[in-house]
Chain A
């Protein structure tokens, strides 16, 4: 009663302030622009005060970190205990070259690995497939067989570091190679965890590195969930990703809503198989983007934690661990300019700060030259140093969720949550996530936002420093990474040799067993493992599944 009255009085006082104090200023000088809209196209007002916060029951809506609904964080003392994992996404050329880069990064204080694969690998093709033409090693490292995986991790202790692998369509196969390599090193039971991205829904929605249609893809993913919590319980069998949705042009709200909707879809698929939600939910992890609007990004992570905890509880999760939304963050590649590339260091700093203030569990900071080419060593080092400065010098790690209670951030958090639930309703009305994909709903929403953003820049309604204002006529002086030109040849020769020297009789048998298992509804992980251990290549193993499952065709959505 008292609180309500206070709020009413405050609202009245605020109106008076608007009509008098603020109005006087506005009469003298109009504001720089007519209205202020954030990146999600939501209007932001001059001032936020306690009466803007509607979810104001602290214990129910915010509570303490480590307690439901985990708005303020999943750990009670967050970075006071342990810093986030500094994990730089890297991979290019041959396994040999990338192996060297990993060792370089670990030497410079990186605490986890993150593997980028090249396009042929992402699509389940071997390096010598015709579709792989021109793509070898360009966007990541080529891994066509267990042999490449062995080289990639030679001298790297997979029992002490954790590895994240950005792989989706053929995730089960690549993961099987990682496990098989650890077995060869006699440390399979001691794998110190890691992550496979394994998030196919966002591929259909945004990133487009899909292979199979939705149904068999979902089956493969649930297979990995099941295998994971039984055999390698510390492994994150999925990283439900908003990053690519955002890079494809969505707003922060769309990123939040679509990613969580995908997450809930995986939970549904796994429980439909009969898996115990408390067995697999603790192994679900997330991956978000960090763009330039500092407060909006922070609010996004906070809202994500609360929505996830609420929804998992509704779906029957009992253990606290099942409710925790743990996430990795990468700064926004799409926000970087090719012009005056050095200024990207500043953008990345703001974005990284958002991720840390939002309570991320691990972080990749982009290198300044990524709008030009693959990052050079120096650029990668500066990106890593950015994280180290935030961690060691900025002081933002001293307390948990330092922006909690900011009227603006709390208002943003609540608003983004509301908008997310509005999207959930729309998706539900379309029949769920997969039907919505098949109707092109997400793709159209993202294309609209991307087009609007570009128009704003073209019309100078949004200023991007160095791009549409503050330009400089200069030649770009950043050293660009050159790859070993012999890499592709070496890789193709290795493949040829491998196909000749392995036990081809056994390879055929294993592939045949995989085919039969795929036609029925066995969990495919053991069969895939058996194939890769005999050095069946990625392309061969994937082809068996392509034959059984078919391939996905994109929709015509702009």
Chain B
């Protein structure tokens, strides 16, 4: 009988899937497995795909993955969709676009709801990356929610960030959220078969002339693709590899990953603190009482927070 760790390392789909569920549900058992998996990670190239809704992120990931599969790469795909803040439910439909990849044994696709996280990611995404990395995936593609908000968190997670644009959406580059523009390592102008694609590329080029590269200190490249014409995906893959090589040559990978693991650490601490505050019955009641006091102006929120902290540190 193999341990969960061994099963994950062997790429057992069922074991991977169940561990992901366990980390999504903050199960304590999962934490122990996660501790032992970490030393097996660091191999996968993590690619984030973000951009406006309706830009064709899923189709792009499908086409790009098909190119990567032809080169023999093993792929993990994390597709994130919004969780309803009211019902807690989510409709996850990104697999529709994945075609024959959906039963390719070397492709593992997981759909996730945001479950209350902002910034276009899901709270468990960091653990899922670790799991897929340990399971031997060469590439992990993360598709953010894409509701047109500034989904900039992806840059702290991914080695390479792809920002997807389409011609005719919002007319001008200027209207795209500035944050989104600054995180791109690669811009993809998708639907290049549509009128206005050349204009979008031209606008992007002039944008890049004035904007100094920020996060990765390398001037972003622009790739045109078309799902309809099955065009540009080989080129995109090549650009992704070039970017990864650039990162590796300049030790930037380490820099990138330091950023990610800092986020991971903060996230673990945040979860634990929240757990401490909300999981203990006694403290939950205290919180409730404090909130009431704040509402009735008996207390200010800062003093209330002090009370909670001092009872935690005790």
A558: contacting residue among B91, B228, B230, CB under 8 A: B91
For A440, the closest partner residue in chain B by CB is B54
B59: contacting residue among A439, A550, A553, CB under 8 A: A553
> B residues 80-136 with Cβ under 8 Å of A?
91, 93-94, 96-97, 99
Report the separation of the CA atoms of residues A558 and B54 in the bound assembly, to the nearest whole angstrom.
14
Report the separation of the CA atoms of residues A93 and B228 in the bound assembly, to the nearest whole angstrom.
37
B168-183 to A contact mask, C-beta < 8 Å, 1/0: 0000000000000000
> B residues 220-264 with Cβ under 8 Å of A?
228, 230
Contact B54 A553 (CB under 8 A): no
State whether the Cβ of B58 lies closer than 8 Å to any Cβ in chain A: yes
For B95, the closest partner residue in chain A by CB is A556
Report the separation of the CA atoms of residues A553 and B54 in the bound assembly, to the nearest whole angstrom.
15
Report the separation of the CA atoms of residues A558 and B93 in the bound assembly, to the nearest whole angstrom.
9
Most B Cβ at <10 Å: residue of A439, A553, A554, A556: A556
> B residues 35-55 with Cβ under 8 Å of A?
54
Give the tally of cross-chain contacts (CB within 8 A).
15
Report the separation of the CA atoms of residues A556 and B57 in the bound assembly, to the nearest whole angstrom.
12
B82 to chain A, nearest CB (A): 13
Contact B93 A213 (CB under 8 A): no
For B194, the closest partner residue in chain A by CB is A435
For A213, the closest partner residue in chain B by CB is B228
Residues of B within 8 A of A213 (CB): 228
Contact B228 A556 (CB under 8 A): no
Report the separation of the CA atoms of residues A526 and B106 in the bound assembly, to the nearest whole angstrom.
45
For B54, the closest partner residue in chain A by CB is A439
Report the separation of the CA atoms of residues A554 and B58 in the bound assembly, to the nearest whole angstrom.
12
Report the separation of the CA atoms of residues A554 and B94 in the bound assembly, to the nearest whole angstrom.
11
Contact B99 A556 (CB under 8 A): no
Residues of B within 8 A of A550 (CB): 230
A431 to chain B, nearest CB (A): 8
Report the separation of the CA atoms of residues A558 and B94 in the bound assembly, to the nearest whole angstrom.
12
Residues of A within 8 A of B93 (CB): 556, 558
Report the separation of the CA atoms of residues A558 and B91 in the bound assembly, to the nearest whole angstrom.
9
For A214, the closest partner residue in chain B by CB is B228
Report the separation of the CA atoms of residues A230 and B54 in the bound assembly, to the nearest whole angstrom.
42
For B62, the closest partner residue in chain A by CB is A553
Report the separation of the CA atoms of residues A550 and B230 in the bound assembly, to the nearest whole angstrom.
10
Q: For the side of the interface on B, what is the size category?
A: 10 to 19
Contact A556 B54 (CB under 8 A): no
Contact B96 A554 (CB under 8 A): yes
Report the separation of the CA atoms of residues A550 and B58 in the bound assembly, to the nearest whole angstrom.
19
Report the separation of the CA atoms of residues A550 and B93 in the bound assembly, to the nearest whole angstrom.
23
A40-76 to B contact mask, C-beta < 8 Å, 1/0: 0000000000000000000000000000000000000
Given contact pairs A213-B228, A439-B54, A553 touches B91 in the complex (Cβ within 8 A): no
Residues of A within 8 A of B99 (CB): 553
For B58, the closest partner residue in chain A by CB is A556
Report the separation of the CA atoms of residues A556 and B54 in the bound assembly, to the nearest whole angstrom.
10
Report the separation of the CA atoms of residues A556 and B79 in the bound assembly, to the nearest whole angstrom.
13
For B191, the closest partner residue in chain A by CB is A438
For B94, the closest partner residue in chain A by CB is A556
Report the separation of the CA atoms of residues A554 and B230 in the bound assembly, to the nearest whole angstrom.
16
B297 to chain A, nearest CB (A): 42
Residues of A within 8 A of B97 (CB): 553, 556
B287 to chain A, nearest CB (A): 37
Residues of A within 8 A of B94 (CB): 556
> A residues 509-558 with Cβ under 8 Å of B?
550, 553-556, 558
Residues of B within 8 A of A556 (CB): 58, 93-94, 96-97
Residues of B within 8 A of A555 (CB): 96
Report the separation of the CA atoms of residues A558 and B92 in the bound assembly, to the nearest whole angstrom.
10
For A554, the closest partner residue in chain B by CB is B96
B57 to chain A, nearest CB (A): 11
Residues of A within 8 A of B59 (CB): 553
Report the separation of the CA atoms of residues A216 and B59 in the bound assembly, to the nearest whole angstrom.
20
B188 to chain A, nearest CB (A): 18
Residues of B within 8 A of A554 (CB): 96
Report the separation of the CA atoms of residues A553 and B94 in the bound assembly, to the nearest whole angstrom.
13
Report the separation of the CA atoms of residues A359 and B91 in the bound assembly, to the nearest whole angstrom.
43
Residues of A within 8 A of B91 (CB): 558
Most B Cβ at <10 Å: residue of A439, A550, A553, A558: A553
B100 to chain A, nearest CB (A): 12
A444 to chain B, nearest CB (A): 11
B292 to chain A, nearest CB (A): 36
> A residues 433-452 with Cβ under 8 Å of B?
439
Residues of B within 8 A of A439 (CB): 54
B270 to chain A, nearest CB (A): 32
B83 to chain A, nearest CB (A): 15
Residues of B within 8 A of A553 (CB): 59, 97, 99
Residues of B within 8 A of A558 (CB): 91, 93
Residues of A within 8 A of B58 (CB): 556
B181 to chain A, nearest CB (A): 24
Report the separation of the CA atoms of residues A550 and B99 in the bound assembly, to the nearest whole angstrom.
14
Please list 7 pairs of residues, one from A and one from B, whose beta carbons are closer than 8 Å in the complex, sorted by A's number: A213-B228, A439-B54, A553-B97, A556-B58, A556-B93, A556-B96, A556-B97
A interface residues, Cβ below 8 angstroms from B: 213, 439, 550, 553-556, 558
4 closest A-B pairs by CB: A556-B93, A556-B96, A558-B91, A554-B96
12 extra interchain contacts, Cβ-Cβ under 8 A, other than A556-B58, A556-B93, A558-B91? A213-B228, A439-B54, A550-B230, A553-B59, A553-B97, A553-B99, A554-B96, A555-B96, A556-B94, A556-B96, A556-B97, A558-B93
